[in-house]
Chain A
Amino acid sequence: MRSKRTGWLLLAPTLIILFIVGFLPFLYVLYVGFFDWNVFSQEAGMTFAGVNNYRRLVFDTDFLNAVWLTLRFTAVSVLSQLVLGFLLAQLLTRDFPGKSFFRIVHTLPLMIAPIVVGAIWRLLTIPGLGPVPYFLDRWFGFDYRIGQFADHAFITTVLMDIWHWTPFVTLTLLAGLTTMPIEVTEAARVDGANRWQLFRYITLPLLRPVILTTLFIRIMDGLRIVDEVWMLTGGGPGTATRYVGIHIWRVVFPKTDYGYGSAMSILTLYFTIVICWLLYVSISQKRSSD
């Protein structure tokens, strides 16, 4: 009984902070989402709108495009990070010259703030000034312009995200790989399992909890990306990289449409939870059927 009370006491500061900076703002945004509230409209105050903001969202092609774009971005970048991260984690389980140096350098992007990552990539890729377009043009005759061509901008944001977050995936998968019981692998080897069979029937099932956790974290991060892309492309060209986070930011702040923007935020949160839940259910069911 005493230890239970001590546990709650120790948790209390964290819970209080989370309640104040996480739960209360969430409740406020939920509340505001049921109102029309644009501070520069003729009726500047809050007007109760019921679920009208949510109804509008269903037919808002700009919002739906932003959601679809974000899903594409997240799918491409997270899957790429998973594959690359796994290969790098496998590499780091072996010994090779310069391994320590490589591990440090490979981890460096993780330490950089997202807004700085955006600034770095902007300096690298800005047409006419950055080295990337310069060398692509000089060596391959490739006219690379993230301010002009939608596909160039989209791919660049994906590459930037991969560059920034693959080290995180590598580190988590490496932690999973190094804690795997070696006896199981050795037993499988003795039984004659080849590399593919080792990966398919031993490594992958044992790594599944780590992969699942990593996927959740990265999918949630991907769906709410703002800073890097805002710095790199501002959501352009056109609306090519106007991911849902940037779209919400533009509606809430420059457009000061607080009610509608709050509804967008809540719906986006709902999407994120549903996607993660679907992923969890599908992987869990597959796991139990295995």
Chain B
Amino acid sequence: MKKFAGFLCLALVFVLGFGVVNAADEAWWQAAAAPYAGTTIRGVSESTPPSNYVKDVLAPQFTALTGINVEFETTSWDQMYDKAIKDMEAGTGIYDFVYIEQDIIYSYLARDFLVNISAALAAKPELASPEFSMDDFTTFLDYFKNADGDVFGIPMEAFIKVYLYRTDLFEDAAIQEAYRAEFGTDLVPATTHEEYTQIAQFFTAYAEANGLELWGTTVQAASGHPASFYEFFESVAPTFGVYNWGINTENWKATVANGGEMNSDAAKAALTWWLNNLQFAPPESTSSTWDEVAASFAAGRAAQGLVYGENAAWIATDPDRSRVVGNVGVALPPLAAGVLEAAEAGDGYIGYYDGGAFGLPITSKNQDAALLWLQFIGLPEVQADWAVAGSRVTQQATFDEPAVIAADEATNGYYTMFKEQGYLFAGAPAFPFHAQVREVVAPFIYRAIAGELSPADALDQAAAAADAELVNLGYGS
């Protein structure tokens, strides 16, 4: 029995670890990691499909290959930041790698929380894997560079927030006929906000008439969670041509009176449109963060919605978690006139290009071992299955992997859209004060969702509060 158990362990190690890289590279990894064998490195991240893949698959593979143990906490978004920032600020050195969401990198860089990975690899060539190259990554890597072009985070997930719709509903002949009879146009994914609302209204009424648990759209409108702030400022406002949260990056002002756009007519129109959609959304919408929006769509409770791309693959393909497998289509978000042209010209963007990287805190006590780990998750060999499991792509070549091509078909073109039109989307603005301004502005969005404030009043007050907070933080005067 003991022999059999030993054989199983050996087989597992072989399957997990040695299958990942080729024989010559295995030798390199083992030699490079030999001084650190038995070391345990610790990391923290948000519990997302890509992070869970790291925890369940990549960490065991790395341990099998190098003998370096990886303890990886996947927790809630709030807790992840709370733990990482406190650790780095206090210098306790608990974590050897931390998740850096694209929107927080500027804050971390401003505080010198992170190790310069480019410099570290240059300084220790014996730790630089011959298989690993920064050149393999998409331009998403640029978000994690400083002004000198040095890299401070190895991208581990990247995706776009897309417009998902139910192909089974949109392609149903009877529904198409009913839609045409009511509106005189074909039922196709919306390209404008008016069309989107019309479709949402139609499906809500259709479901009510037919006794279905179905609504016209998802809305990520948790009325006490920053998820609603993000949906509005990063996914909805840009489709109306309001970028960078409406903050003027020249003078750090948000109010129109001071040169900002947070309370501009376009922003108010965007908030009005978004809140109006709540009447066509499932009742859980005002309690929904990004996770619940994905769950609602996967449960078949919405005909369309803006959904984070990290969820697109499992919604479209995993029958254990989704009731709409095979019935998911993807499209660009609905846009106001001129926004697409502006984005194509590089003068704006149409939605959120989300993602994150693993960075190495300067307080880490196992920086060398962690440096190896960060390169391991950046190997081309580990990307394809990870891309399928988490709908994330960080390297250009991953799009051409057979597994990803198959997943692209299953998701009706999510990966193709990501590859070919990803440039139309953008990450969060380069604000070192990201969380601070968000915390000041978000309560006004919550109150607008709850109906305590009109959209116009909410944005007027939010913009004034943002101006005051920016001055308080030392930005502008």
**Interface-side segment among A75-83, A176-184, A251-259, A265-273:** A251-259
The segment out of B34-42, B126-134, B429-437 that lies at the interface is B429-437
A97 contacts the other chain (CB 8 A): no
Q: Are A236 and B432 in contact (CB under 8 A)?
A: no
Enumerate chain B residues within 8 angstroms of A238, measured Cβ to Cβ: 223-224, 443, 446-447, 449-450, 452-453
B286 lies within 8 A of A145 (CB): yes
Residues 14-29 of B contacting A (Cβ, < 8 Å): none
Alpha-carbon separation in the docked complex, A43 to B434 (Å): 15
When A126-B284, A147-B286 are in contact, do A236 and B78 touch as well, CB less than 8 Å? no
B241 adjacent to chain A (CB < 8 Å): no
Contact at B282–A234, with CB atoms within 8 Å? no
With A145-B283, A241-B224: A40-B446 Cβ-Cβ less than 8 Å: no
Contact A41 B283 (CB under 8 A): no
B439 and A255: CB pair below 8 A? yes
B473 proximity list for chain A (CB < 8 A): 38, 40-42
Given A42-B473, A238-B446, do A254 and B439 touch, yes or no (CB 8 Å)? yes
Contact code string B422-442 (vs A, CB < 8 Å = 1, else 0)? 000000000011111011100
Chain B, range 100-156, C-beta contacts under 8 Å to A: 107, 110-111
Instruction: Please tell me which stretch of B81-89, B170-178, B266-274, B366-374 contacts chain A, meaning at least 4 of its Cβ atoms lie within 8 angstroms of it.
Output: B81-89
Q: Is B475 an interface residue (CB 8 A)?
A: yes
**B210 close to chain A: CB less than 8 A:** no
Stretch at the interface among A88-96, A127-135, A159-167, A275-283: A127-135
Q: Closest Cβ of chain A: how far from B341's Cβ, in Å?
A: 35
Contact of A43 with B474 in the complex, beta carbons under 8 Å: yes
Is there contact, CB below 8 Å, between A147 and B223? yes
Determine whether the beta carbon of B475 is less than 8 Å from that of A234.
no
Does A127 lie within 8 Å of B111, measured CB to CB? Answer: no
- How far is B472's CA from A41's CA once the two chains are assembled, in angstroms? 8
Q: Are B223 and A148 in contact (CB under 8 A)?
A: yes
B301 within 8 A of A: yes
Interchain CA distance A110-B222 in the complex, whole Å: 29
> What string of 1s and 0s marks CB contacts (under 8 Å) between A239-256 and chain B?
111100000001101111
Partner of A236, one of B435, B450, B453, B472: B450
Question: Would you call A128 and B284 a contact (CB within 8 A)?
Answer: yes
Is B287 touching A126 in the complex (CB atoms < 8 A)? yes
Cβ A62 vs Cβ B436 within 8 A = no
Closest to B287 in A: A147
| Contact among A41, A62, A241 for B474, CB-based, below 8 A | A41
Instruction: Tell me, yes or no, whether B263 is within 8 Å of chain A by CB.
Output: no
CB of B225 within 8 Å of the partner chain: yes
From A149, A237, A251, A253, contact of B224 by CB (8 A): A237
Select A39's contact among B89, B287, B453, beta carbons within 8 Å: B89
A253 to B453, CA, bound (A): 26
Whole-angstrom distance between the alpha carbons of A28 and B456 in the complex? 42
A237 to B223, CA, bound (A): 5
Which residues on the B side are within 8 Å of A38 (C-beta)?
Answer: 436, 473
- Give the shortest distance, in Å, between A121 (CB) and chain B (any CB): 12
**Once bound together, how far apart are the Cα atoms of A82 and B447, in whole Å?**
33
Partner of B446, one of A126, A149, A237: A237
User: Interface 1/0s, chain A 178-198, versus B by CB < 8 A?
Assistant: 000000000000000000000
Interface assignment of A262: CB less than 8 Å from any CB of chain B: no
Among B223, B286, B433, residue most surrounded by chain A Cβ atoms (within 10 Å): B223
Chain B residues within 8 Å of A, Cβ to Cβ: 78, 81-82, 85-86, 89, 107, 110-111, 221-226, 282-288, 296, 301, 432-436, 438-440, 443, 446-447, 449-453, 472-475
Q: What residues of chain A have their CB less than 8 Å away from a CB belonging to chain B?
A: 38-44, 62, 126-129, 133, 145-150, 233-242, 250-251, 253-257
By Cβ-Cβ distance, the 9 closest A-B pairs, closest first, are: A236-B224, A42-B474, A147-B286, A234-B224, A237-B223, A147-B287, A237-B450, A236-B223, A128-B284
10 new A-B contacts, CB < 8 A, other than A147-B284, A254-B82, A254-B435, are A40-B473, A43-B474, A44-B111, A126-B287, A147-B224, A236-B222, A236-B225, A237-B450, A253-B81, A255-B440
Offer 25 A-B interface pairs, CB within 8 angstroms, sorted by A.
A40-B435, A41-B472, A42-B473, A42-B474, A43-B474, A44-B110, A127-B283, A127-B287, A128-B282, A128-B301, A148-B286, A150-B450, A233-B224, A234-B222, A236-B449, A237-B223, A237-B224, A237-B446, A238-B224, A242-B224, A250-B439, A254-B82, A254-B438, A256-B85, A257-B436
